[in-house]
């Protein structure tokens, strides 16, 4: 569980980003609901039609400064682009413009955080290339009949 100090710091950055955007774009924006319940390997996500932001508490906790500087504006940019332009490419030119010209942050699509120790369970599968770890979600899909193939040798993955 994320402590109230870290939550508060992130919410301050959210507000700062919105004030910056309002100043740059010359209009007001409704503030989003902010949740700390993102799961998996995703650092954050923006739910456009709900005006909601979700952040991964463990990834945030382990990468606080970079997360606040990059992930928070990244997700807010998605909401702002939706509110200003409507439906666009998720990381298209409008989003990139928002990142560079409003938030002065490089428009990176994905994070490079180490997610090995955030509690994601893996099951080992095998192909001719060697061992491949699948998440529990993919493992459960295999149990339901989904077949995954190795990206290199194209062989069906088999549980080790």
- Catalytically active residues are 75
Q: Are strands 33-35 and 44-47 parallel, antiparallel or unpaired?
A: unpaired
Q: Output the six-digit token pair for 70.
A: 């990059």
The rounded distance, in Å, linking the Cα atoms of 94 and 102 is: 11
User: Distance (Å, rounded) from C-alpha 11 to C-alpha 17?
Assistant: 10
Phi and psi for 121 in degrees, rounded to 5? Answer: -85, 140
Give the separation between CA 60 and CA 67, rounded to whole angstroms: 6
CA pair distance 89, 16, nearest whole angstrom: 25
């Amino acid at each position: 569980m994320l402590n109230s100090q870290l939550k508060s710091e992130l919410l301050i950055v959210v507000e700062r980003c919105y004030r910056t955007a309002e100043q740059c774009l010359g209009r007001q924006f409704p503030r989003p609901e902010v949740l700390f319940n993102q799961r998996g390997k995703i650092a954050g996500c923006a739910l456009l039609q709900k005006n909601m932001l979700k952040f991964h508490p463990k990834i945030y906790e382990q990468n606080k400064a970079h997360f606040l500087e990059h992930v928070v504006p990244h997700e807010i940019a998605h909401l702002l682009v939706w509110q200003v332009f409507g439906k666009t490419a998720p990381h298209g030119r409008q989003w990139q413009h928002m990142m560079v010209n409003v938030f002065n942050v490089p428009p990176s699509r994905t994070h490079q955080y180490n997610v090995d120790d955030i509690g994601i369970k893996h099951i080992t599968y095998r192909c001719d290339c060697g061992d491949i770890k699948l998440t529990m979600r993919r493992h459960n899909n295999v149990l339901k009949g989904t077949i995954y193939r190795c990206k290199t040798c194209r062989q069906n993955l088999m549980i080790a």
